[in-house]
Amino acid sequence: MSWHEERRRNLAAEAEQQRLDRKADYELRRQSRRDAAEFEREQKRRAREEKRRARDARRKDRKARRAERARTWTPEWLYGRSTYTIVAASAAASLPAQFMHFGHISPLLLTIPVALEGAAWATFAGVAYADEKRLHPGVRSGLRGLSLLFASFAAWINWLYGKSLAPTIGEGEATVVAAALAAVTMLGPLLFEVRQWVRTLSASSRDPKQRAADKARARHAQQRAKMFKAVAKRQRQILLAAPFGRVDAEEAWRQAWADIEGAQPGVTATVVGSRIAAEKAVSAAVAQSGVTPESAAVELLLAEMFPAFPGDDGPPGGSRKKAPQGGQPGGGGRGVRTRERDASEEATTLGGKGKRANQSAAETEPERPLDPADIARVRTLAEALGGADKLSARKVREAIGCRTDYAIRLRDRVQADAASR
């Protein structure tokens, strides 16, 4: 390789390197300008965001101040501010006249109006404090009397000063000025006293519903203590034995009832005995009627779900007939299935298919009188079911084991006897 060729290659490599350096420098400057522009945009965006947040904060602050003013401008606030304003105006109107009255006599007496007005308003402040702390009524009445005495004395001085102006402005004008000064002197204390009365009454007033609930609760507690004296005495013992406020009154009553009666509130030994006797009576009635307790419970449930109506003869599509006992047609008692009953059921089934059922011989028999024993059993069944109105022909038929017409007559007789009582 010649020297010239090596020289050319070196020059070409240097030129290429310079080109690459210039390109890199250009890319670096362009990236710098791009970063600067991006930074400037970010700064502007942050400044706009900060301005927006400040604007939103000012807006929220204005809304909060408006809401606070709206909450502040309540009737109570307005009444209190207006009263204080009139009180200040009353003091400002009465003091100059007293200064002029005593100053005309001697400059040394100028402290009397300050002491007099100060004593009046100090006692009025004492009235407010006594009302707030709910002190004895005698203390509050005494403070009110002192404050009104001081205010009346100040009003009398202003009256004298107004009347002393008669030689200058005339008798009539002097009387008007004296009356106005006396009235404005008493106006502030009287309005302040009225405000105290209103505040005391409003503090003691309660919601009418709450008052009614409190009265009902007190009446309930009084009646309960009167009816259950021993339990109430035990409750007081529990409450007094425990630290104050530690035991709830109702919890103490439950504990007292358990200690005295040995059961939950409302349950006593007499109640338990009556319940057991009633359950035995129901069991005896159910056993006498021939109905098992399970079937009686099912009957009661069905009676509640499907009330019986007059003429209820059981499910449609025919009746189930049972043969009477002792050879008595339609009589009481449970019997075995007979050929006549099978024929009746077969006739009913055929009738349901469109064929006319043959009239059995038993249906053509003459109506016989009701058996007193059957009537008694139906009455027992009615008592077990909860009343004669719960009876139905189906229930009577299943209990007695008789025909439907006989069951209907028994049911009607028992219901008629129950209605006539």
pLDDT exceeds cutoff 60 at 27? yes
Under DSSP, the state recorded for 110 is: G
**Residue 36 φ then ψ, to 5°:** -65, -45
Contact yes or no for 416/348 (Cβ under 8 A): no
Contact yes or no for 285/380 (Cβ under 8 A): yes
Average pLDDT of the chain to the nearest whole number: 77
- Mean pLDDT is highest, among 195-209, 228-242, 272-286, 355-369, for 228-242
Reported confidence tier of residue 1, pLDDT bands at 50, 70, 90 = low
pLDDT confidence of residue 141: 84
Contact yes or no for 188/87 (Cβ under 8 A): yes
pLDDT confidence of residue 296: 61
Nearest alpha-carbon partner for 319 in 351, 286, 295: 351
State the Cα–Cα distance between residues 395 and 407, nearest whole angstrom. Answer: 9
Reported confidence tier of residue 54, pLDDT bands at 50, 70, 90 = very high
Coarse DSSP helix, strand, coil percentages of the chain, rounded to the nearest 5 percent:
80, 0, 20
AA letter at 249 = A
pLDDT confidence of residue 53: 92
Reported confidence tier of residue 161, pLDDT bands at 50, 70, 90 = confident
pLDDT confidence of residue 207: 63
Quote the percentage of the chain above a pLDDT of 70: 78
Helices in 164-228 by DSSP H: which ranges?
166-169, 171-204, 208-227
Contact yes or no for 137/171 (Cβ under 8 A): no
Residue 291, both tokens: 């109905």
- pLDDT tens profile 305-326: 655 544 444 443 343 433 334 3
Under DSSP, the state recorded for 266 is: T
State the Cα–Cα distance between residues 176 and 186, nearest whole angstrom. Answer: 15
